[in-house]
Amino acid sequence: MKLIVGLGNPEEKYKLNRHNVGFTLLERLAEEIGLNFKNNSKINGLVAKGDSFVLLKPLTYMNRSGDAVSKALSFYKIDVENLVVVHDDVDLKFGETKSKVGQAPAGHNGVEDIIEKLGTKEFQRVRVGVGRSTHREGVESYVLSDFTEDVLKTLRDVSLGKLIKD
């Protein structure tokens, strides 16, 4: 069994933010395979369960994602090596993805919190490029700003389906 976690912030005002690309892609994956997210208050997250995987959108906000991830691993009795975390990355071109096991957080606070709570970085991370601002705004302002409709349409080409088949 795999735990596939999309990182994001739960409030409606964050729904279209670049920082919420993990939520966005998990929602699309669930929709494609006919699953619905349900609140699981024991782990403080929204969960969609398949036969061989669990999709999780933590409700703990980005910077405290480790709480929900840790609880979900325990609740579903999933080993950390079967954890996949999907999150935004400003160092990758928009729509580009990279996947690797054992990476340092590279300044991503949500990933840093997961590593801290689990005591290991030995899990798979799927980094999804959101690009870097061409304006002088800071990284935080940029990732908390919304995607445009055109950009959201191109996110449809990013597929997570292979994650549940591996």
Structure-derived torsion over alpha carbons of residues 151, 153, 155, 160, reported in degrees to the nearest 10: 170
Confidence of residue 137 (pLDDT cuts 50, 70, 90): low
pTM: 0.87
Catalytic residues: 19
pLDDT (tens digit, 9 = 90+) per residue, 43-76?
999 999 999 999 999 999 999 999 999 999 999 9
Lowest mean pLDDT among 39-43, 137-141, 150-154: 137-141
97 pLDDT higher than 70: yes
Nearest partner of 40 among 17, 70, 72, judged by Cα: 72
160 pLDDT higher than 90: no
The C-alpha atoms of residue 101 and residue 99 are separated, in whole angstroms, by 7
Longest CA–CA separation in the chain, Å: 46
* DSSP result, 92-152: S-TT-EEEEES---TT-HHHHHHHHHHT---SEEEEEE----SSS--HHHHHTSBPPHHHH
pLDDT (tens digit, 9 = 90+) per residue, 68-81?
999 999 999 999 99
The C-alpha atoms of residue 2 and residue 77 are separated, in whole angstroms, by 10
Domain boundaries defined on the chain: 2-165
In angstroms, the Cα distances linking 11 to 16, 20, 59, 63, 160 are 10, 10, 9, 14, 23
* Fold of the domain built from segment(s) 2-165: Rossmann fold (3.40.50)
Percent of the chain with pLDDT over 90: 58
Q: 17 - beta bridge partners?
A: 146
